[in-house]
Each structure stands twice: as C-alpha cells, then as structure tokens.
Structure 1
C-alpha cells in the first residue's frame, strides 16, 4: 500500500476528532451562553422598563429630547451611513437594541473615556431608542455623578434615560497589581472573568470593547455567536515594537528587560502571548483603530487570521478601519483666539496634558524642562517672564497619587519646584485656561497610540513638541499645505542643533522647547494657524461619522443573525 495513502487514511480520524472536539466545545459554550442569557432576562426587562420610566420623566421636564446641543449640526447624523443596506436604504433606522460597552474604568477621565462618551453620544443621535449600557467597576460613583463628570471634563452632554451602568464586582482581576508576574497573560485571563461577570448581569444585543480587552470579545463570540462584537483599539496589547523594546537599546517602560536568562524567558513568553493575541483578535466582527500606527500593528497581528476567517486575502487591508478619536476641536477654536492680539495673553508656558501613568513619561519632560531652565532664564519674546511647566492630568487611584508625589519630589530635587505646576483632575474650564495661556504643548510618551492632547494643543494654537514615534509623529504633527505644524525643518537661529520638534531624549526635548520659545512673532503666528488648521481633521463630527458607519455594520449583523442564528462561528472558521 502506498505510504502517502496510508497516512491519509490514518489522518482522517484525527481530523474528524479535531473538528468533533471543536463542535463539542462550541456547543458547550453556547449552552453556557443560553443559561447566561436566560438568567439575565429579568434584569433586561427591568432595565427596559426603567428606560421607559426615565424617558417619560425626562420628557416632562425637557421640551425636546437632545443628547447634545443642536447647534453642533448633528441632526444630520442619521444620514451618515445612508445607502449601506443591501437595497441601498438606511440600515436599522429604528433599531432598538441594547449596546453593551465594556469599559471597566469609565470614570477615569482620559482620552479613552472621551472616545466612549462620544461613541455613546453618536449612537444616541443615530438610534435614539437604542439603550447604551456601560459595564464598569466604578462602584464609588452613581450614574448622575458619572454623567456630570462627563459634562465637566469633556463637555459632552448625553441623554440620561438611554444610558445606564452595570457595576462589575471583579475588576481587580484586570489590575496589574493583581498579577505581579506574567502580567499580560494574567490581565487577559482576568478580563475573561470580568467579561463573564458582565454577561451574568446582562447579555447585550451588540458587545463593544473600548478599552483593549480582546479576550473579552473572544469570550462573547464563544458564548453568544449571534451577538456581533466590535473593538475600538487604542493600543495593541502586544506588538513587534514591544518585543524590540526588550533590547538594551530599546525604549519604553520595558527597555532593556530582555537581558539575561530572565530576559530570554520574557521574550519567548511575549512571543507566545502574541500568538494567542492574534487568535482572539481574529474573532472580532468589526475592528476600529485610533491611528494609522495602531492600524498597522493590528493588521500585522490580526490580519492574516482575519483574512482566513473572512475567506478573503485582502480582508486584512479593508476591514480594519482608522477612526480618529474625537477631540474638542470646535469648543477649543470657539473658546480660544489665535491671532497676533492673543499673543499678549500667552507666556513662555509649556503644558503637558496626560494621565499620570508611567508610560506617559512625565519624568522625561521634567528633566528636559530642568535642562532648559538651567540654560535659559528668559527668551526674546518673553523678556520678563521665566519659562513654566504645567502638568495637567487625571489621578485614577492611589498609584497615580503616589506618582504625582514622586514627580513633585523630582521637581524639588532639580530646583524647579516653583516653576512646575500640577493640575490634577482638571475641569474643562481649567484646561481651557491653561491652553490659552501656554505657548507650547508637549507629549512625552514613546509610541503614543494617537495623542488626543496633542490635537488639543493644535486646536488651541500651541506649538507641539512630541515624541518621535507613534500617532503624534505619523498622524498629528505633520505638514499641512506643505508647511510644518511643528518645526519640521532646522531653524536658522536654533539654540541646539536638533532638526525638528519630534524628540526622544532629554537633550532633544530641551532643544525643541528652546526652539519653540525662540521663534519670531511672524513664525509663531504662522505655525499656530497651521496647527489649528491641522486639528480640523480630528473633530467630534468626523469621529461620529466613522463610528456610525462601523456601528451600521454591527446593527446589520445583529439583525441578520437574529433572523438566521448561526452556529459555532469562531474556532472552526479560523
């Protein structure tokens, strides 16, 4: 007998056993999903009844229901995705389902949270009868307090009756402190526990992760094949850049961690985790990324398996969409004047808007500012005013508070304590005040996925000094009309010989600060206007248009799968 034929005969039972095992596993998952759905049925009915009650109460006190001010022009939001249905009509015009947003830290007040609230606002405009449910672990605040902070921090006004919160009791499992070793894997497994916690409370009609928990989406697909899943990816959990950062010359919080036998083990552990991350990411139905940098990494990680799942060689090039985060560009351009007359209100102030997290690298910025102060007490445009650094950011927990304390100590040690100001948990009016008083905005994070704060700088007319990597370099501080929005070419009067306002080291940042504060009045005015024009690419409306377009896809999938429920759609397809 031919050996190849014998091998084929022997392999058939193995292949059949493999697929039978997958079928059994998938069936078990759907059985668990069925019981979760049935167990949460009563809560779903109570939630919908509460929505109706709140709708009536709201209507009695408000003459017109509107999640946001009508002057923003969003009454046209229903036309964003016109013609996307198979027959050319609007898809899901009157859709009334429940959209679950998996965002365990929804009250953190950072850029990721702005995406969440802007997405909910866009959904409320497009589908006014749909209910948005946020799964959160913020037990210390109620709905009213959360929505009030959203208004104060982001100037986003939501329609209260159709946004609700379900409180998770297992958020500790996604904290890095819970997993001192094998943190990436531990947090990812922890997100499975947290997602199961969420599903035990309520099974939504569409499930969206806006924080980066791809494993939670995979669990949803496993338990509820009929529920479409969506991911808004701010930052890949693992990437080739992270693996490269382990080298002695690497950058970021893990720079040099790949040395020795522990480093060898870490490198292989990360490589294995990357494979697992590729697997779970390929199960997501609709994927959005916040920048071209993130898109490139997600395509390289998730694209090949997604192409196989969708049975299209070009799927990885077309189905992962860049949806730039919403930035308060309109509010900033209306509130802050950029003209020769407004220069009198500005001083030699450098502002950094960022959460007080390790990766934001506030230490680098303080060190660079200390070097600047050591070499320059004043600049020609501000002869009587010394430079100042203002650090604006939210403090999420005790770890962040400790970080702020250590940064204050560093400023004291560098003898710049009086020239560095910390503004913690700033309100929107406070942010506006500092943006119109400052001249320079800085970003210090290596491979920042996007950089909402940098767009805010540009909208306010600030000259941006950003890290020479990630979204700020590729998407934001770029040429407009062939001219720089940051100093992209060497200046004739450079204080240090650095070719741009893209920086990496203490010396480069200090040099870029000096260059920015040494520009002539004409150069400063021209660059501020170009920066503001650049910021118009990142408006709330632009985000809403692309968000609704991708949501349309999920709504259509939900309607299709409800009519024709599918079977086990994950493991076999990939």
Structure 2
C-alpha cells in the first residue's frame, strides 16, 4: 500500500470513528432523557413503604453458591440484631419459604429460626445472560430494573438489602423511601473490563471480532463508559455499601459516586466445622478437589487441561506414579439447564483429554458430603480470573487442603497470603498460578511434596482461614447495617 493510500485509509478510519462518536453521543442524550422520564413515571406508581420490613433482593436464593451463603448469614444477622423486624426475600416464583430455610440448613449449615416471607418474582429470566447474546451488559441491567420494579410493586420495605450486585433498581427503592444497603460481591462493570477492551484483549466478554476492530472497540468503549456512568450514579443512593474483598472495594471506590467509603466485610465461610478436620490424614488415594458452580467464568476447562498436563509430565519415579494415580473430584452446583449442559460438555472434554478414569463429578452435594470430601483431599483448584473473593479457596484452607488458586483479585490480595510462623518467619499458605503450565507445576508439587511440608503449609492455611469465619461476618455485617435497621 502506497503512502497516499495508507493516509487515505487512516483518514477514512478517523472519519468513521468521529461519525460513530457523534451518533453514539446523540443516542446517549436521547436515552438519558427518555430514561429520566421513565424513572419518574415508574417510581411514582410504587406502593407505600411498609415499616418494620427488611427485604433482601436475591432472585436465585435457592442457588448453592457463595452468594447464597452470604444471603443466609445476612438474614440471620438481621434477625438477631433486629428481632422485631419482618424479613422478606424477593426470589423466583415457585420457591417456598420452607424450601429456602431447609436449603440453608442442608447446604450451608445455617439455621434460620424465625419465619421469613417470600415475595415471588415471575420474570427472573430478565437477568439471565443467556437471553442476551448481544449488548449483554446493558440488556441485563435493563432487565434487572424490570425485575426490581416487579419486586417493589409488591413490597416497598423500610430497608432494601441487595446481595446480588444488581445496583440498577436502587434508585427506585430509594425514591420510594427505602434505605438501601448493598453487599457487593463483584462490580457489574469494572476498570479491568474497560482496560481489556481498550487494549484489544479477547476474553469471554470481549469477542475477538470486536478486539480486532478499532471502530467496534471504540463503540464498545463508549457503550461501557455509558453503562459505567449509570452504574456509578445508582451506587450513590446507598445508605450502606459493603464489599467482600479489597479488590472489590478498590473498584467500587473508583466506579461509584458514594459519599461514604465502602465497608470491607469478608464473606462468611463455615470454617468452624472444617477447622476440626485433622491435618495429618490417612491418604489411601491422593486426590484434588474443585469446589465451584458449573459456570463459564469458573474456567473448569483450564483445570482439566492442567491436570492432564501434570499427568503427561509425570516421570517413572514413585512421585510420578503418585501423580498418574491421583484423581480430581469436581464438586459443584447446577442451577438450571444451561449449567447441566455445561457440565456435560466438561465431561466430554475430560474424555477427550484421556481423564475419564481420573475425574469424578459430584453435583449439588450437601454440606455433610462436602466436608467428607474436603477431609480427604490434599489440594484444591481454583481458576477463575479476577474472582472477587473466593469462598472455595478459604474452605480448602480451613479444611487443611492446600489451595492452588488463580493469581488475581481476591485470592491474591486477601486469601492466599503468607502468615508468620512461631519463629516470626513467613510461611506460605498455598500456591498461585495463571497458565495451564503453572497450574500443572503446582499440582505436581502438591501431589508429590513431603508430608511434613504439606502439614506446615496446611497449618498456616488454617490460621489464615480463621480471618473469614461466619462469626466474623456476623459481627462486621451487624456493625455495618445497625444504623439503618428499623427501630
């Protein structure tokens, strides 16, 4: 291409970018005006506030993940701190209060002794990402507004507590008179997401087709910044903002226009029973565990690839034999048909990698079975990039299972941190990795390490895990929300 042709090409590209910018800014202005009109129209139709009611927005409260553990511990904390308050939960239609209470006990070992009220939601499909193949973030945000309005049309509580991260309905609850409390697990949009789009990095939420196109990248950046502005404005109406990790706190401080700094309240991990498991266990069969819901961001494929890589690299020695004979047990929850399809795809992938005899799948296991499985494991895998916290990593550590976690966000900043031993020296509490090769190396090290070294790491990990107990959460969460609870 000649210099003149090259110059014409770049001029054409810049003209296209400017045109896209003008169109996008005009569209944003029109959407803002329409949204303002819609907000006041919809908010004025909400019913009167009900005094003495604390309502939790958690549409999938019957799920089996870490977010649901936070929900039930928060419910218990509110009932203990404000005994006269009526607790309600906005949850998908078809789920009963009795089912939820029984589920909290069987899955999380959390006893809810006082009655709760269920507010059924028919349109939970509005926040399912699978429904929106394009403009997922914006359409999910709008869907969360629709779902939030469905909830508030049935009940406007004195205190509205969101434990899911959907901030976009907050202004409606605030306008109707509720005091809004947010417990943020993961920012809906973060500066990391914006950075990946800006740098042209292809990820699960930034297609290669967009990453390779300057025009499409510019449009997506404008789109993300518009949603980020909306997100930040919604955050400004909260009376109390709690976050689950240092990483989340840093992002919320940058994204939300809050008058008060977010309060760091580590999520509750049932460490009390896990800490009772013996460290010096009889290891008849070496195995690793992976405790994660079967969701795409958990990146189970990387775990399978790393495990297969470790086995292929095992030598002819006794240590190599230990790696070849080791098993990997996946323990996870399936929420719906998409999760089950994802699980079946992972099972097929394990067969393709030659792991069919070395991998087990345990789905929707109760706490009692989880405890038994953790009690016999030597290592635990975690591979999610930018995991906001990582409850499963803490569970590994509390149970004396050596964690092998992704080197980012919560695990790196808060959890898998060195502790001081009795002599004042730093003792590692686990391993961090990013690539399949790094994970495979850590897997091999954990499976082949001397028993005394494993016990030292496991003991240090248990000490670190005590920072994230249920008792600590109840104490910190109560202190955070006490000023806004019904009198």
- The answer for the alignment partner of 2:236 in structure 1 is 282
1: CA distance, partners of 2:38 / 2:294: 45
- Partner SS for 1:135: strand
Equivalent residue in structure 1 for 2:169, among 192, 216, 240 = 216
Q: Does 1:460 align with 2:399?
A: yes
Q: How does 1:336-351 map to 2 (within 5 A)?
A: 336-339=277-280, 342=281, 344-345=282-283, 347-351=285-289
Kindly report structure 1 stretches of 4+ aligned residues shifted beyond 6 Å: 25-28
1: CA distance, partners of 2:284 / 2:89: 40
Shift in Å, 1:37: 2.3
Change (3 A) 1:409 1:385: closer
Shift in Å, 1:550: 1.3
Change (3 A) 1:362 1:427: same
Shift in Å, 1:413: 0.3
Change (3 A) 1:346 1:237: farther
- The answer for the alignment partner of 2:72 in structure 1 is 117
- Partner SS for 2:233: helix
1: CA distance, partners of 2:437 / 2:37: 56
Q: Does 1:165 align with 2:118?
A: yes
Q: 8 Å contact 1:208–1:217 — kept in the other structure?
A: no
Shift in Å, 1:379: 5.3
- The answer for the alignment partner of 2:265 in structure 1 is 323
- The answer for the alignment partner of 1:93 in structure 2 is none
- The answer for the alignment partner of 1:528 in structure 2 is 458
- The answer for the alignment partner of 2:426 in structure 1 is 483
Q: Does 1:36 align with 2:50?
A: no
The range that moved more, 348-357 or 237-246, is 237-246
Shift in Å, 1:254: 3.3
Q: How does 1:379-528 map to 2 (within 5 A)?
A: 380=319, 383=322, 386-481=325-420, 482-487=425-430, 501-528=431-458
Shift in Å, 1:452: 0.3
Q: 8 Å contact 2:162–2:182 — kept in the other structure?
A: yes
Deviations along 1:350-390, one digit per CA (max 9) or x if unpaired, are 11101100000000110100111112277549859711111
2: CA distance, partners of 1:449 / 1:210: 14
2: CA distance, partners of 1:113 / 1:32: 30
Specify the structure having the higher radius of gyration (Cα): 1
Shift in Å, 1:348: 2.4
- Partner SS for 1:243: helix
2: CA distance, partners of 1:269 / 1:32: 25
Q: Does 1:236 align with 2:246?
A: no
- The answer for the alignment partner of 1:202 in structure 2 is 155
Aligned residues: 446
- The answer for the alignment partner of 2:6 in structure 1 is none
Shift in Å, 1:426: 0.8
Q: 8 Å contact 2:314–2:323 — kept in the other structure?
A: no
Equivalent residue in structure 2 for 1:126, among 81, 105, 126 = 81
Q: 8 Å contact 1:110–1:355 — kept in the other structure?
A: yes
TM-score, normalised by the number of residues in structure 1: 0.74
Q: 8 Å contact 2:57–2:90 — kept in the other structure?
A: yes
Equivalent residue in structure 1 for 2:309, among 353, 371, 375 = 371
1: CA distance, partners of 2:451 / 2:37: 66
What is the aligned-residue RMSD (CA, Å)?
A: 2.4
Q: How does 1:99-110 map to 2 (within 5 A)?
A: 99-110=54-65
Q: 8 Å contact 2:419–2:429 — kept in the other structure?
A: no
- Partner SS for 2:186: coil
- The answer for the alignment partner of 2:134 in structure 1 is 181
2: CA distance, partners of 1:252 / 1:384: 31
- Partner SS for 2:178: coil
2: CA distance, partners of 1:277 / 1:28: 15
Q: 8 Å contact 1:98–1:205 — kept in the other structure?
A: yes
2: CA distance, partners of 1:181 / 1:455: 35
Q: 8 Å contact 2:94–2:120 — kept in the other structure?
A: no
Q: 8 Å contact 2:248–2:388 — kept in the other structure?
A: yes
TM-score, normalised by the number of residues in structure 2: 0.86
The range that moved more, 238-247 or 207-216, is 238-247
Structure 2 unaligned regions, length at least 5? 1-32
Structure 1 unaligned regions, length at least 5? 1-21, 45-95, 488-500, 560-574
2: CA distance, partners of 1:244 / 1:255: 14
- The answer for the alignment partner of 2:144 in structure 1 is 191
